[in-house]
């Protein structure tokens, strides 16, 4: 249910103070990290079964609202996002009336791909025969109109796609349709947190697509636990993080975790009144496929949002990643060049360290015996949640 209370942003400073307390308890008592109740066993087939893969593409990547970006990417009439990673090519457009609309990227004459560039413009002109649509999706003109005499131009507008803009976040369902997306309902108890992050003020600095020959969930798993960090990221991320210390929070299907960077050293053994100012940081998991880190810890000083969206490719062993790095409204004086540097640094780590592992493991996983099972330990709690939730969304059990 949409609920008015969920529109109220929470007090991020108080929230962060509470999170810091939990992390400090872990660091000071040696309890280390939040844990799930149990170890979870999962069949390797969950990653390799083609039927399951087809169900995910159909029931998740066409039916669940997907984050396509943030309002700052679509500030003026004619601004657009082209989104095809979920399979169905979609154009999201800021209309002349300021509203967002989304359409299939599909010309209504003979099905050509209509938009190929993200550049702002007042018209979408089809590259096949030159039909021209306005940014509200209406067919405006066509060469040799006499050849289509008798047809009503008003019925030849672009095919709508469900879209919603909420607190700076933009969602679509990647298929034709006109129904409303109730974002507050979709986000549920995570809504106040996302509202507090002021995501509408983000400025996109870099985005790129990375393909990896592995299953999309196997690749996504690497963003969702810190157990691998001291091993896979021994010489990179782990230099700035206490090993295996994290707090987890679940908000229905959405989740959050936060590790303890080395700058927490200044908090240990001190009364709260003497804690130095350290800003909110966490990794957010937005069901079904998105993580975004709201952090300054990549280099210890540059605040960014680093977002990774994972999608199934053409087969269970192919995945698509959209990696985007944003400058933040609360980070004055940070230049695009600094944000771009963070983007390159993170992508290097993900591309080489995480995706090297995901890619190299795929032949082993793909050829595992049919009844092979593996484990999510109690610290891999986020994975436990999201694999259950994905299984639930497609109506196929995990074991």
Q: Return residues touching ligand FES (CB under 6 A).
A: 107, 109-110, 112, 126, 128-131
Of 126 and 135, nearer to ligand FES (C-beta) is 126
Q: Report the partner that residue 131 touches, choosing among ligand FES, Fe ion, none (CB closer than 5 to 8 A by kind).
A: ligand FES
Buried b (16+ CB within 10 A) or exposed e, 102-120: bbbbbbbbeeebbbeeeee
Contact 184, 6 (CB under 8 A): yes
CB 255 within 8 A of CB 249: yes
Nearer to ligand FES, 123 or 270 (CB): 123
| 109 touches, from ligand FES, Fe ion, none (C-beta below 5 to 8 Å by class) | ligand FES
Q: Would you state the structure tokens that stand for residue 228, as one six-digit string?
A: 């691998």
CA 291 – CA 222 distance, rounded (Å): 11
By the rule CB under 5 A, 134 interacts with Fe ion? no
Minimum CB–partner distance for residue 347 and ligand FES (Å): 36
Considering the complex, state which of residue 131 and residue 216 has its C-beta at the smaller distance from ligand FES: 131
Minimum CB separation of residue 337 from ligand FES in Å reads 40
Q: Does 222 participate in binding Fe ion (rule CB under 5 A)?
A: yes
C-alpha to C-alpha distances, 158 to 48, 67, 177, 178, 228, nearest whole angstrom? 37, 22, 12, 12, 46
Min CB(231)–ligand FES separation in Å? 52
Whichever of 165 and 354 has its CB closer to Fe ion, that residue is 354
222 binds, among Fe ion, ligand FES, none (CB under 5 to 8 A by kind): Fe ion
Residue with smaller CB distance to ligand FES, 109 or 120? 109
108 lines the binding site for Fe ion (CB under 5 A): no
Tokens of 217: 């969930």
**Chain center to CA of 375:** 25
Provide, rounded to whole angstroms, the least separation between the CB of residue 247 and Fe ion: 18
Report d(CA 266, CA 354) in Å as an integer: 30
Beta bridge partners of 307: 292, 324
Q: In this structure, what token pair is assigned to residue 139?
A: 């067919």
Three-class SS of residue 71?
helix
Report the residue number, 17 or 110, with the smaller CB distance to ligand FES: 110
Q: Which part of the chain contacts Fe ion (CB under 5 A), choosing from 22-30, 327-335, 346-354, 367-375? A: 346-354
Residue 354 interacting entry, from ligand FES, Fe ion, none, C-beta within 5 to 8 Å by type: Fe ion
Peptide bond into 288 cis (omega under 30): yes
CB of 152 to ligand FES, least distance (A): 17
Per the CB < 8 A criterion, the answer to whether 292 and 285 are in contact is no
Among 112, 119, 53, 113, residue whose Cα is nearest residue 84: 113
Residue 291 interacts with Fe ion (CB under 5 A)?
no
Burial of 333: CB neighbours in 10 Å, binned 0-12, 13-18, 19+: exposed
For ligand FES, the closer CB: 158 or 161: 158
| Residue 269 partner contact from ligand FES, Fe ion, none using kind-dependent CB cut-offs of 5 to 8 Å | none
> With binding defined as CB under 5 A, does residue 354 bind Fe ion?
yes
- Distances, alpha carbon 174 to alpha carbons 13, 89, 100, 253, in Å: 36, 8, 15, 19
CB 237 to Fe ion: min, Å: 7
User: Using CB under 5 A, which of the segments 55-63, 222-230, 267-275, 373-381 binds Fe ion?
Assistant: 222-230
Q: Which is nearer to Fe ion, 95 or 230 (CB)?
A: 230
Asked if residue 358 lies in contact with residue 214, where contact means CB atoms within 8 angstroms, the answer is yes
Nearest distance, CB of residue 85 and ligand FES, angstroms:
23
110 contact choice in ligand FES, Fe ion, none (CB below 5 to 8 Å, kind-dependent): ligand FES
State the nearest-atom distance from the C-beta of 135 to ligand FES, in Å.
17
Nearest distance from C-beta of residue 276 to Fe ion, angstroms: 27
Find out whether 305 and 328 touch, Cβ atoms under 8 Å.
Answer: yes
Residue of closest CB approach to Fe ion: 354
Distance CA 284, CA 290 (A): 8
- Shortest distance (Å) from residue 219 CB to Fe ion: 10
Q: How many CB atoms are closer than 10 A to CB 203?
A: 16
Q: List contacts with Fe ion (CB under 5 A).
A: 222, 354
């Amino acid at each position: 249910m949409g609920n008015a209370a969920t529109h109220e942003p929470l007090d991020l400073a108080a929230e962060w103070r509470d999170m810091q307390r939990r992390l400090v308890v872990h660091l000071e008592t040696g309890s280390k990290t939040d844990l799930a109740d149990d170890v979870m066993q999962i069949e390797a087939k969950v990653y390799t079964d083609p039927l399951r893969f087809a169900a995910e593409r159909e029931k998740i990547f066409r039916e669940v609202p997907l984050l396509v970006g943030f309002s700052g990417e679509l500030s003026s009439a004619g601004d657009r996002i082209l989104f095809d990673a979920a399979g169905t090519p979609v154009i999201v457009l800021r209309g002349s009336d300021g509203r967002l609309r989304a359409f299939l990227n599909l010309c209504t004459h003979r099905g050509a791909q209509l938009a190929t560039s993200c550049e702002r413009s007042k018209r979408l002109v089809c590259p096949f025969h030159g039909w021209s649509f306005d940014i509200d999706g209406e067919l405006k003109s066509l060469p040799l109109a006499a050849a289509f005499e008798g047809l009503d131009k008003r019925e030849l507008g672009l095919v709508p796609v469900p879209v919603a803009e909420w607190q700076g976040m933009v969602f679509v369902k990647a298929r034709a349709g006109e129904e409303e997306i109730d974002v507050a309902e979709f986000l549920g108890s995570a809504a106040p947190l996302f509202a507090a992050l002021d995501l509408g003020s983000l400025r996109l600095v870099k985005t790129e697509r990375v393909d990896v020959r592995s299953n999309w969930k196997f690749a996504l798993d690497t963003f969702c636990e810190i157990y691998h960090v001291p091993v896979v990221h021994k010489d990179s991320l782990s230099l700035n993080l206490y090993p295996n210390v994290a707090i987890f929070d679940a908000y229905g299907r959405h989740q959050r975790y936060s590790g303890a960077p080395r700058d927490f050293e200044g908090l240990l053994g001190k009364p709260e009144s003497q804690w130095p100012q350290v800003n909110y940081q966490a990794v957010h998991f937005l069901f079904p496929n998105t993580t975004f880190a709201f952090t300054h810890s990549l280099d210890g000083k540059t605040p960014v949002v680093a977002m990774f969206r994972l999608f199934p490719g053409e087969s269970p062993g192919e995945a698509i990643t959209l990696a985007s790095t944003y400058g933040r409204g609360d980070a004055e004086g940070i230049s695009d060049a600094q944000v771009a540097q963070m983007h390159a640094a993170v992508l290097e780590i993900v591309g080489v360290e995480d995706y090297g592992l995901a890619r190299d493991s795929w032949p082993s996983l793909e050829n595992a015996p049919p009844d092979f099972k593996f484990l999510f330990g109690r610290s891999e709690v986020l994975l436990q949640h999201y694999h259950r939730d994905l299984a639930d969304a497609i109506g196929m059990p995990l074991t």
